Amino acid sequence: MKLLYGAVALLALAACAPSTAPATGGGDEKTGTLNVWLFDEPNRAPKDKVVQEAIKEFTATHKDVTVQISWVPTTPARHEKFKGAFNDPASAPDVAEYGNTDLAEYAAAGGFAELDLAGQDISPDLLKSATIDGKVYGLPWFIGIRALYYRTDVFDELKLKPPTSIAELTETAKTIRAKKPDLYGIAVGGEYTFGAMPFVWDAGGDVTTLDGAEARKGVKAYTDLLTDEICPAQTCASLTGGKTVELFASGKAGMGIVGNFNRSAVEAGAVGSKYKVIPLPGAEPGSVAPAFAGGNNLGVMKSAKHRTLANDFIKLLGGKTYQAKMYEAMGNLPTLTSLSTELAAKDPFVKPFLDVVAKGTRFVPLDPAWVKIDNGKVIPTMLQKIATKQSTVEEATTEAAAAVKAAFG
């Protein structure tokens, strides 16, 4: 994703919704209950408050309409829930929030209606996270970007400078661990796929080329952090992305690859406000490693009974007012240009993440095979075998590449 920060940036979604309702499948009833599935959260209350405000505004302008929200868990069980809805239209909602990594699987199942986003001035790169075979199946609601958090108190005490390359990152992490043995140099995890992939992408590799020379260079750069000198494998090889966030937030690491969406967790922990954020550096001094462009989309089910109402609700909930409210409530990075620049002007925390986006982000394969790769923990298994010295980089990447190939069939 190469979105410009400032002028023509993340996404200029003036109307911020499909301009026309899908023309096929379902029905177009103008009254009754609009059923909406939204993802549940560990702390649902802030999100629910924003959603209820949107519902109040929506029903005030749509006579004889009610909106029913069902909260869907974000666990792997969500796949079965969506599959059931695709197979049984009577149980399906009109509108659903879904993770952009699930798009290929859901599009292959024919579950979502194609949306017309023409003329919305949406960045082509961001729109890719909602597009399959040239057809758009969702409105990007927010994006999640990871960057490098570092503890200002530790850096000031040790007179360290923020790293500008992967080599400097590694050496800085070693210095922190050596001078403060009670800390990990950087919180990294063997089960942190989206912490590792920026190293692979920066080196010129990808998920589909894990046994290539470039990918192996990136894998080695990441697993070199899973050592006794930085983050011991006996502890860190089993850490997920969430656990690495907890490690940094609890004050047990000098640095961490953490998302904009983890801000509240960090500030609620022992670190508090004693941190700063910079883009994760790449191998070349001064460069930025490509980050994964995560996030969720709002889609209309193909079997929706209220097509026009569904599109109207997406337009409202995905609009500037409620994206701003969701940022305030949840820390979700907006997908609207005007809102992003406004937030960056008011809150310096946002700028490093937008700088990462401006340099270019990456995405997982837009293919149902990704779900097999992800659920099968192909990448974590590779990282863990290298970190624990069960396999060499060459052996582990060869095995992972074979698993990826098998997933694609």
Burial of residue 87, with CB atoms counted within 10 A of its CB: 0-12 exposed, 13-18 middle, 19 or more buried: exposed
Helices and strands counted in the chain (H then E): 18, 12
Tell me the pLDDT band of 376, cut-offs 50, 70 and 90.
very high
Specify which residues 72 forms β-bridges with: 39
Collect all residues with Cβ–Cβ distance below 8 Å to 345 and sequence separation of at least 6.
none
Q: How far apart are CA 396 and CA 400, in angstroms?
A: 6
Report pLDDT for 130: 87
Contact 276, 152 (CB under 8 A): yes
Report pLDDT for 322: 95
Report pLDDT for 3: 33
Q: How far apart are CA 271 and CA 401, in angstroms?
A: 38
Tell me the pLDDT band of 122, cut-offs 50, 70 and 90.
low
Element spanning 384, H or E: helix 378-387
Summary mean pLDDT of the chain? 90
For the chain, residues classed under CATH 3.40.190.10 are: 32-144+293-362, 146-291+376-408
CATH fold of the domain at 32-144+293-362: D-Maltodextrin-Binding Protein; domain 2 (3.40.190)
pLDDT at residue 121 tops 70: no
pLDDT at residue 249 tops 50: yes
Q: Class of the 146-291+376-408 domain?
A: alpha beta
pLDDT at residue 301 tops 50: yes
Q: How far apart are CA 305 and CA 82, in angstroms?
A: 17
Question: What are the tens digits of pLDDT across the range 210-245?
Answer: 999 999 999 999 999 999 999 999 999 999 999 999
Question: What are the tens digits of pLDDT across the range 37-93?
Answer: 999 987 788 899 999 999 999 999 999 999 999 999 888 788 899 999 999 999 999
Q: What is the DSSP letter of 189?
A: -
Report pLDDT for 173: 98
